[in-house]
Amino acid sequence: MKISIPLLVTFVLLTASGCDIAGPHPPVAVNRVHTSPTPNVSSSPTLAGSAPTAPAPTSLPAPVVVPTPGTTTVLARCHTGVLLVSFAGSQGAAGTIVDTFRVANTSTSRCVILGYVGMLMLDAAGRPLPTHVVRNGGVFSTQAGPSGFSLEPGTAASFQAAWSDVPHGSEGPCPEAAQLEVTPPDEYDHRLISVNGWSLAPCGGGEIDVTPIRAAGLPGTRLT
């Protein structure tokens, strides 16, 4: 086989010079060293022997004062089960009778009363009689409305009931009650009072005018 002289000379020269032949190179491992950034050094001169300047203190927010709420005692309403309702007295003039009733707290705790009582008259057989309760009606029309108060254990409040014993128009004899149901304010249960030793026979369709229950010591209505 004949080899071209110029081609042979070129091959010898490339081998002697150690030049790389063009082509892909094998990967080379490189150790990467992470260095911290160079700190920013102030260019201001520092006097010899002087201490380094301390950083300025951080300003803290003012403390927040949370007020402590006061304690408030919430009293329960006076329920029928702890109240004793009884007849306390009567007076009358010019055909109008005013009865006073006592409402006592028989429990060991204070309770609150606010409002008017409800009433229902019954005959001797326990049958309902016509009863029409009017709040602050008749002789009580100028009195103030109800005001809530605390009823201490073993103490009593009172209310009054007024009625007329004079028949209205063609009204016949007014029915007389043998028993009286009294329901305290905002209650569904009632107390039963026997009408014994006193009378309750309101005319005018059984109208009974009542005052709110009031604390002890407040004056009631007097007929002159």
Which residue has tokens 């150790």? 31
Nearest to 100 by CA among 85, 115, 111, 90: 90
Summarize pLDDT for 154-196 with one digit per residue, the tens. 999 999 999 999 998 888 889 999 999 999 999 999 999 999 9
Query: 111 and 149 in contact (C-beta within 8 Å)?
Result: no
- pTM assigned to the model: 0.66
Nearest to 115 by CA among 68, 57, 157: 157
Question: What's 43's DSSP letter?
Answer: -
Which residue has tokens 């409800």? 118
For residues 76 and 71, which has the higher predicted lDDT (pLDDT)?
76
Question: What's 190's DSSP letter?
Answer: -
Domains and CATH numbers, the chain: 80-210 (2.60.40)
- Kindly state the tokens that stand for 206: 């059984």
